[in-house]
Amino acid sequence: MPLATPDRLLRVDLSTRSVDSVPVPEPRLRRYVGGKGLGARYLYEELEAGTDPLGPANVLLFMLGPLSGYLPGESRYAAITKSPLTGGFLDSYAGGVFPDALVGSLGPHIGLLVTGTATEPVRLVVEDGTATVEPTDAWGDDTVETAAGFPDASVACIGPAGERRVAYATIASDEGDHHAGRGGAGAVMGSKRLKAVVARGEPPAGLADLREAYAERYSEDETGQWLRASETVETVDFANEVGALSTRGWEDGTFEGADSIGAAAVKELTTGREYDDGDDGSDTDSGGFRVETAAGDYVPRGATAMSLGAGLGIDEFDAVAELGQTCDRFGMDLISAGSAVAWAVKAADAGLLERSVSFGDPDGARRVLEEIAARETSLGDALADGVTAAAAQFGGDDLVPTVKAMELPAYDPRGAPSMALAYATSDRGACHRRARPIEREVFDEQWSPERTARAVVGEQNRRSILWCLIVDDFVGDVFDDLGAEWLDAVQFETAGDPLTVGERVWTLSRLFNVREGVRRADDELPAPLREPLESGPSAGTAVDDEWFEAALDYYYRERGWGPDGRPTRATVERLGLAEAVDDDSLLADT
């Protein structure tokens, strides 16, 4: 007898404190599967164009997939909403213990849909397939303090940055070890006066043989071996070696202090790993390295060292780790936060700010981060809305790159131009998780525009279906059939093959953004990437405008979109999206 897959949604209106269990129509479930896809479909349906991301009409979805709780690797959930940073589609993911507890607490529900705004700070307690809205006295606490108040449950919460609606505030879980980070889902929680989601439950049992088989495949896979050996901190060394490590606010592609903050430094200081392997082989890696700093126990990630270390010219590991902890406890995306500090340094150097802040100064960086989280100064208040907003107020829109108002991760496309197209066409703004062609391009000649477009489209579609299932990003590398074997095991039929589902969902998120006004000009090559790097293997190189525009043309053609970036009617009908999209003004003329 097949395992039951969740087929209902729990709707919570914070304005009325009402909770309703509603069925997900079967055709919708088959067409969009779960996670990113199903969340995108509900977001498109629930919101009108121009909805205020921080208003009561915006919705925030906590989504699972049909296989959540069974899959190997780290369980994950998706936070889906309209972004207060970009004004467009946002899906953000976090792993750890909380997703398993959420699976166990939701019962037959594949997710939570939260709307409205509470009149006072509240928490949402999920247990035994239902939810209750309760008052909370944790408003003002940081993410670690909030989670500590529930030793018998797992918690996803916001910190002070979310309460003050910092546009890149995170939703933190597992006492701040994991974050649904990019794009500001935490600010949406703060706008709704929702401090925390408290989940009590155990994940379901089943599919143990399949889980163990995939865990073994992953342990033998290149990605699994790399992750077990070095975790994501290895990305610092990789990016530095190939000349694509953004350094001192995108001035250089290599960092002379990389050895002090990279994998070797972390391994030397580690006190253990985040997770222990289970005897049954079900755990596919040991998680991140734990280190002790002056501020306490911490699990540094690659992005920490790249954005708050190299990006700010800081080569003291303890100082970088403490800056990461500062962001984690405030509940603030450290990629955007690092770019905000870098922008402040460069704006001060350019005479746009009367401020003493410089690269290589961890104390100065911490002060800026504290001002952002508190919105207590004019600079902090402006940077809390993102680099694009600060530049609009003070000037300096060419100092630090953004796409659709989202700050770029620290992989510099001048060391791998294919990343420029990946950033430009990402549906949530600049993001390296949608596609990472850099991992192949740096070992080859610079790719042609056509090859680049095909590679980016292919990776985006693949990631899109895996995020519908919400497969661990790294374990997903051994899902050669994109989850078909797993779906067969629970007799779940998708409407179309997996890649078609991925393409359908990607196109739907594009249509959401088109409805918000996104066009070709928004799929841009940021000005700083047109300036040559100063040092390293990529010294003297920049992303060529003509190459980029040709790659974007190929990308649109590969996707079946018009030259202005709007999908065509033929593409919408081919992908079965006509049931969702009935406004021809959103579609290309050709």
pLDDT, tens digit (0-9, with 9 covering 90-100), for 59-85: 999 999 999 999 999 899 999 999 999
CA atoms lying within 13 Å on the CB side of residue 186: 37
The DSSP element (H or E) to which 197 belongs, if any, is strand 194-200
Please, where in the chain does CATH 1.10.569.10 lie? 210-216+227-402
What local confidence, expressed as pLDDT, does residue 459 receive? 95
Local confidence band at 280 (pLDDT 50, 70, 90 cut-offs): very low
What local confidence, expressed as pLDDT, does residue 1 receive? 47
Chain position carrying tokens 């996707």: 559
Q: For residue 518, which of 434, 586, 453 has the smallest C-alpha distance?
A: 586
Local confidence band at 272 (pLDDT 50, 70, 90 cut-offs): confident
Local confidence band at 276 (pLDDT 50, 70, 90 cut-offs): low
> What is the C-alpha to C-alpha distance for residues 584 and 590, in angstroms, rounded to an integer?
12
In whole angstroms, what separates CA 519 from the centre of its chain?
22
**Is the pLDDT reported for residue 2 higher than 70?**
no
Q: Which of 43-52, 263-272, 425-434 has the highest mean pLDDT?
A: 43-52
> What is the C-alpha to C-alpha distance for residues 249 and 344, in angstroms, rounded to an integer?
10
Q: For residue 54, which of 198, 161, 186, 195 has the smallest C-alpha distance?
A: 186
pLDDT (mean) for 226-248: 88
Local confidence band at 28 (pLDDT 50, 70, 90 cut-offs): very high
Could you give the percent of the chain with pLDDT greater than 70? Answer: 97
CATH code, residues 210-216+227-402 = 1.10.569.10
Main-chain dihedrals φ then ψ at residue 28, nearest 5 degrees: -65, -40
CATH code, residues 413-586 = 1.10.599.10
> What is the C-alpha to C-alpha distance for residues 157 and 95, in angstroms, rounded to an integer?
14
Q: Give the tokens for residue 534.
A: 């100063």
What local confidence, expressed as pLDDT, does residue 549 receive? 98
What local confidence, expressed as pLDDT, does residue 416 receive? 85
**Is the pLDDT reported for residue 279 higher than 50?**
no
> What is the C-alpha to C-alpha distance for residues 427 and 437, in angstroms, rounded to an integer?
16
Main-chain dihedrals φ then ψ at residue 585, nearest 5 degrees: -70, -15
> What is the C-alpha to C-alpha distance for residues 495 and 503, in angstroms, rounded to an integer?
12
> What is the C-alpha to C-alpha distance for residues 253 and 240, in angstroms, rounded to an integer?
7
Please, where in the chain does CATH 1.10.599.10 lie? 413-586
Q: For residue 422, which of 374, 454, 387 has the smallest C-alpha distance?
A: 454
Q: Give the tokens for residue 486.
A: 């797993």
pLDDT, tens digit (0-9, with 9 covering 90-100), for 133-191: 999 999 999 999 999 999 999 999 999 999 999 999 999 999 889 999 999 999 999 99
Please, where in the chain does CATH 3.60.9.10 lie? 8-200
Query: In a 3-state reduction of DSSP, which class is residue 290?
Result: strand
**Is the pLDDT reported for residue 409 higher than 80?**
yes
Q: What is the DSSP string of 14-82?
A: TTTTEEEEEEPPHHHHHHH-SHHHHHHHHHHHHPPTT--TTSTT--EEEE--TTTTTSSS--EEEEEEE
What local confidence, expressed as pLDDT, does residue 442 receive? 67
What local confidence, expressed as pLDDT, does residue 370 receive? 97
What local confidence, expressed as pLDDT, does residue 534 receive? 84
Q: Give the tokens for residue 543.
A: 């992303």
Local confidence band at 113 (pLDDT 50, 70, 90 cut-offs): very high
Query: In a 3-state reduction of DSSP, which class is residue 130?
Result: strand
**Is the pLDDT reported for residue 305 higher than 50?**
yes
The DSSP element (H or E) to which 225 belongs, if any, is helix 222-230
> What is the C-alpha to C-alpha distance for residues 369 and 313, in angstroms, rounded to an integer?
16
**Is the pLDDT reported for residue 338 higher than 80?**
yes
What local confidence, expressed as pLDDT, does residue 282 receive? 43
The secondary structure of residue 579, as a DSSP letter, is T
Per the prediction, the chain carries an average pLDDT of: 93
Q: For residue 400, which of 332, 365, 456, 350 has the smallest C-alpha distance?
A: 350
pLDDT, tens digit (0-9, with 9 covering 90-100), for 480-533: 999 999 999 999 999 999 999 999 999 999 999 999 999 999 999 999 999 998
What local confidence, expressed as pLDDT, does residue 278 receive? 46
What local confidence, expressed as pLDDT, does residue 537 receive? 86
Name the class of domain 8-200.
alpha beta
